[in-house]
Structure 1
Amino acid sequence: MSIQEYLDKMKEMIDELKAMSTALGLGNTGDEYKIIGELFTYKFLNDKLLYDFENREDKDEDFDEFVEFAGIYTAKMKKEHLIDNLFQKQNEDDFHKIFDNAFEEVNELNKDIYNIETASGKKKPLFEKLSVYIRDEGKEVELAKRAINILAKYKFNNIYDGGFDYFSTVFEYLIKDYNKDSGKYAEYFTPLFAGNIMADILYNDTPVSNVSVYDPAAGSGTLILALANKIGTDKCTIYSQDISQKSTQFLRINLILNKLVHSLPNVIEGNTLTKPEHKDGDELKKFDFIVSNPPFKMDFSNMIENLKANKYNRFFAGLPNIPKKDKNGMAVYETFLQHIIASLSKKGKASVVVPTGFASASSGIPKKIKKKLIDENMLRGIIHMPSNIFATTGTSVSILFIDKTKTDDRVMLMDASNLGTKVKLDDGQRTILSDDERTKIVTFFKEGKVEAEFSAIVSNNEIKESGYSIQAGQYVELKEEELDFDINERLSELSLALKQQIEQSKDLNKKLLDILGV
């Protein structure tokens, strides 16, 4: 079976799990994503274990020995936990308890690897009992039986060398129905192609080892996963924090899928602004690479007093005033952006999604942030993206690039807003970039190419003189329109037409005078 066929089968299994959830009255509930996510993850770990056992070096090693000495990339399970063995027990009394016990025992066997931490220090296991999601006790057994029949139906033992592009496609399909509320408070999912553009520009392909990658508003991890796979998952360690329980659960699955379980201890569920968890002593931890698509606007008025203490010297540009009315319109991205700048190492680089209005802002916090980036020669460039790139927000977005290793004063300003093709998707209209368009964006940015109405290279001084505007439209050259006619010939035609109009006017005047008897 080809990779594409396996991919289609995996999507088919996800669809069956969602249909099962709906049939049991769990569709569109807060628990549905947990059930689907946990069952999918259990299936992945089960089949990955069987794949690793089948391909073990020592063929004389039995299953129990193999599991005991397996590395962190292989889940520890006993034979009774395997899906095929659970399938054989589905007709036993209280089968749901057998399934629940399997989840709990697998949690215990893998707690040092798969547990993640909240800001309060609580450890959250990978799996919950399936039965906790059922309010109707009579349906507990039905859920367990339906679930095990779906999981046992599919075999994915030979897909585990598919790589990031493969599993990112699976992951996007897995969560597509559960990220529709993400635009207001947090981005649970950023389009993969946007993550790839950011990663391709941010990392210049110079071999590195043991570098740190951070996202303070990680969502489901698209951006950090794209960058980590660009750098090499064995050459970097991921750090993340996100206030959302849902997105942190998805991020954990994403890391497991993509061979980054060594970074799971660095995944924190909590409020980055009020209580950043990644620190070196009493100072913020500094990172080599930061990528982020933070929420743009939200009501964080209840955090302002806490943030005014500025414990970690993050908010050099200040904090917004609390409006009397529309508190949901507070620009929280400005606060995240200052946190990101403060979290960069001396040679750190960052790529951050911001509202395009940030580029032209002529006052307030945005201008102060741009002033620091320009005056300290940290701004590498900005790309204005097409509208509706992200399904969850209609706001025009740009991608900001910060580089503390810059040695010249050149800044790339790119207007890619006219690229892309608009398509109709389930969640509304979306703009999709072709492969050629994505390649053009990356190539022009990295090579400093200039094109009329698309890109410009400007100096720090030019930006200062313009009041720190980094709106590409102010700097890119306009295309000269090519005339499809001979200018001298056209002037002759216009001159002749004018003479004819003058003669006609004279005749008309003479007739009017004759009528009036003048």
Structure 2
Amino acid sequence: MTLENTIKTKTLIDDLKAVCAGYGLGNSSSEFDIITQAFLYKYLNDKFTFQLKKAKPGLTKGKKWQEQLAKMDDDEYRLLQFELESNAAFLFPRHLITVLFNRQNESDFAQTLDDTLIDIGQMNSGIFSVTTEGGSKIQLFDRITEFVKDASKRDDFARAIINKLVHVNFEEIMEEGFDFFSTIFEYLIKDYNNDSGGKYAEYYTPQAVSKIMAAILVPEPENNVTIYDPSAGSGTLLMNLAHAIGPKKCTVYSQDISQKSSNLLRLNLILNNLVHSIGNVIQGNTMTAPYHRENGHLRKFDYIVSNPPFKLDFSDDIDELKKKINQNRFFAGIPNVPEKAKNKMAIYSLFLQHIMFSLAEKTGKAAVVVPT
């Protein structure tokens, strides 16, 4: 079924992009947010129903099982949450795509869709929120119809999105493996990672590179290990490393200055059964404010992989890095190099020193992409 599921899933992504293009959002950052969030909504919706059918086969038989679900007492319904796996979002009947599909002719349907997404995010914020270095929580969804600036077109836009989502069933893909989801993830963001490292290139390291690094680092899987990427992007390096070790045998830690890349990493973790690590996804500046600590000190990790942020200029951070709290990571000290270009190379050197400082003593292993 893998080829059929691949075609079906890629077709949905293409259809969502066509909807965005039809409303003037093609090739925009707004399109990027809409596509990834609509895809995530569909995935979480179908994973919830997939798990519910496994846990309650008697409850979910028949064509009108969702109507029966909606008639359940609230307290009884909430108990279902404890019978489902913890790696899925918990939804109420009002959140289901089929329910919204049947409500699409109501007035203010755009607000209905947006309110549904926000409600799902708030209900599941405990396990699905990304954290900023300041402690704020970034939830799953935005009000995606508000990206359409012409308010008179938002209801139609919302209907177009729901009509694409409702006619595809993702329940069959829930048991697909890493190779399937890595292919889908690559396809999902391919239009935002072109032109030789363009606008969104920092989010993605090619699968071939990631697989080689993982194979070198993990000749034999281990149990209960920590893996870390201080410039995680979309998490391709981390996903390949976690796959080599085993998703249930490792805990992922990450930090990245980009909010968009942190959201993409969250999606990658959800698709690859690593939901238990989402709480360790930090959006913030690793150089000036490394987040992960243990017993008051920067945490040490068993494995570190990274594709350092070559394009970012950290020259303005020199004064911050010279502070004592940051200098203990840098055994070579902070160089006093006035030229901007040389400062970039100096900062890159400091980034590598941060990685070395963060390795577990004696047993830690790291692999880093380097410029040629």
TM-score, structure 1 as length reference: 0.65
Q: Provide the C-alpha distance between the structure 1 equivalents of 2:265 and 2:188, rounded to a whole number of angstroms.
A: 12
Q: Does the residue aligned with 2:185 lie in a helix, a strand or coil?
A: helix
Residues 1:107 and 2:121 are matched in the alignment: yes
- Judge conservation of contact 1:217–1:242 (CA < 8 Å) in 2: yes
Shift of 1:139: 1.6
Looking at structure 2, the residues matched to 323 and 272 of structure 1 have their Cα atoms a distance apart, in angstroms, of 22
The correspondence for 1:269, drawn from 283, 292, 304, is: 283
Return the match for 2:190 from 176, 186, 199.
176
How is 1:66-85 mapped onto 2 (pairs within 5 angstroms)?
66-67=80-81, 69-85=83-99
Are the structure 2 counterparts of residues 44 and 276 from structure 1 closer, same or farther at C-alpha, using a change threshold of 3 Å? same
Map of 1:48-59 to 2, 5 A cutoff?
Answer: 48-56=47-55, 59=58
TM-fit CA distance, 1:45: 0.6
- Among candidates 337, 349, 367, match of residue 352 of structure 2: 337
Query: Within 1, Cα distance between the matches of 2:40 and 2:46?
Result: 10
* Residue 315 (structure 1) aligned with residue 358 (structure 2): no
Q: Tell me which residue corresponds to 1:217.
A: 231
Aligned-pair identity (%):
49
2:365 matched residue in structure 1: 349
- Greater displacement, 126-135 / 266-275: 126-135
Structure 1 window deviating more from structure 2 (175-184 vs 345-354): it is 175-184
**Distance in 1 separating the partners of 2:105 and 2:25:** 23
Aligned twin of 1:202: 217
Q: Tell me if the contact between 1:221 and 1:251 (Cα under 8 Å) persists in the aligned partners.
A: yes
Inter-CA distance 184–273: structure 2 relative to 1 (3 Å threshold) = farther
User: Aligned pairs, how many?
Assistant: 354
Unpaired runs of 5+ in structure 2? 61-67, 70-76
Say which SS state the counterpart of residue 365 (structure 2) adopts. strand
SS in structure 2 opposite 1:9?
helix
Displacement, 1:183? 6.2
Q: CA deviation at 1:48?
A: 1.1
Using the alignment, how far apart are the partners of 2:28 and 2:336 within structure 1?
Answer: 36
Q: What SS is found at the alignment partner of 1:311?
A: helix
Larger radius of gyration: 1
SS at match of 1:354: coil
Cα distance in 1, alignment partners of residues 86 and 276 from structure 2 = 7
Structure 1 CA distance, aligned partners of 2:170 and 2:198?
A: 34
Contact 2:315 2:343 in 1 (8 A): no
Check conservation: 2:315, 2:344, Cα contact below 8 A: no
Q: Which has the higher strand share?
A: 1
Q: Give, in angstroms, the shift of residue 69 of structure 1.
A: 3.7
Any idea what SS the aligned residue of 2:227 has?
strand
Corresponding residue for residue 190 of structure 1 = 205
Partner letter of residue 55 of structure 1?
K
Deviations 1:91-142 (A, max 9, x none): 1111111111211211122111111111111111101112331221112112
Residue 30 (structure 1) aligned with residue 29 (structure 2): yes
| Residue 8 (structure 1) aligns with | 7
Q: Which has the higher contact order (CA 8 A, sep 6+)?
A: 2
Give secondary structure in 2 for the equivalent of 1:26: coil
- Is the contact made by 1:189 and 1:221 (CA closer than 8 Å) also made in structure 2? yes
Q: What is the DSSP-based 3-state SS (H/G/I as helix, E as strand, rest coil) of the residue aligned with 2:175?
A: coil
Q: 1:93 to 1:177 in 2, by over 3 A?
A: same
> 1:472-500, CA deviations, whole angstroms, 9 ceiling, x for partnerless residues?
xxxxxxxxxxxxxxxxxxxxxxxxxxxxx
Distance 2:19 2:348 in 1: 39
Letter in 2 for 1:157: E
Structure 1: give runs of 5+ residues left out of the alignment. Answer: 356-395, 397-518
The 3 A distance-change label for structure 1 pair 153 and 185 is closer
Quick one: distance in 1 between partners of 2:295 and 2:198? 34
- Does structure 1 residue 42 correspond to structure 2 residue 31? no
1:201 and 1:320 map into 2 onto residues whose CA distance is 33
Instruction: Choose from 62, 76, 86 the match for 2:100.
Output: 86
- Distance in structure 2 (CA, Å) of the matches to 1:153 and 1:328: 53
